[in-house]
Amino acid sequence: MQETSAPKKRSKGFVIVLAALVLGGGAFGISKYIHSLHHEETDNAQIDANVSPVIPRVSGFVKEVRVKDNQHVKKGDTLVVLDDRDLAIRVQQAENALSTAKANLGAAEATTSAAETGISTAQANVSTIDAQIEAAKVNIWRANQDYERYANLIKDHSITQQQYEQALAAKQTAERQLDVLVRQKAAATRQTSVVASQSSATAKQINLANAAIKQRETDVEDAKLNQSYTVITAPEDGVLSKIYVQPGQYITAGQSLFSVVMDTAPWVVANFKETQLEKMKLGQKVTVHIDAFPGTPLEAKLTSFSPATGAKFALLPPDNASGNFVKVVQRLPVKIEFDDPSNELIKRLRPGMNVLVDVHLN
Whether 260 contacts 239, CB under 8 Å:
yes
**What would you measure as the largest C-alpha separation in the chain, in angstroms?**
202
Check residue 178 and report its DSSP letter.
H
All residues at 6 or more sequence positions from 307 whose CB lies less than 8 Å from its CB, including other chains: none
Provide the whole-model pTM.
0.65
pLDDT at residue 118, rounded to an integer: 57
pLDDT by residue for the chain (362 residues), tens only, comes to 445 566 666 677 777 777 778 877 776 676 666 666 778 999 999 999 999 999 999 999 999 999 999 999 999 999 999 999 999 999 999 999 998 888 887 777 666 665 566 566 666 666 777 777 777 777 777 777 766 776 777 677 666 777 766 767 777 777 777 777 777 777 777 666 666 666 566 667 778 888 888 999 999 999 999 999 999 999 999 999 999 899 999 999 999 999 999 999 999 999 999 999 999 999 999 999 999 999 899 999 999 999 999 888 887 777 766 666 778 889 999 999 999 988 889 989 999 999 999 999 87
All residues at 6 or more sequence positions from 173 whose CB lies less than 8 Å from its CB, including other chains: 143
Complete domains list, the chain, with CATH: 39-50+261-360 (2.40.30.170), 56-83+230-255 (2.40.50.100), 85-228 (1.10.287.620)
- Report how far Cα 347 is from the mean position of its chain's Cα atoms: 34
DSSP labels for 121-160? HHHHHHHHHHHHHHHHHHHHHHHHHHHHHHHHHHHTT-S-
Coil, helix or strand at residue 16: helix
State the Cα torsion 248-249-253-256 to the nearest 10°: -130
Whether 232 contacts 75, CB under 8 Å:
no
All residues at 6 or more sequence positions from 179 whose CB lies less than 8 Å from its CB, including other chains: none
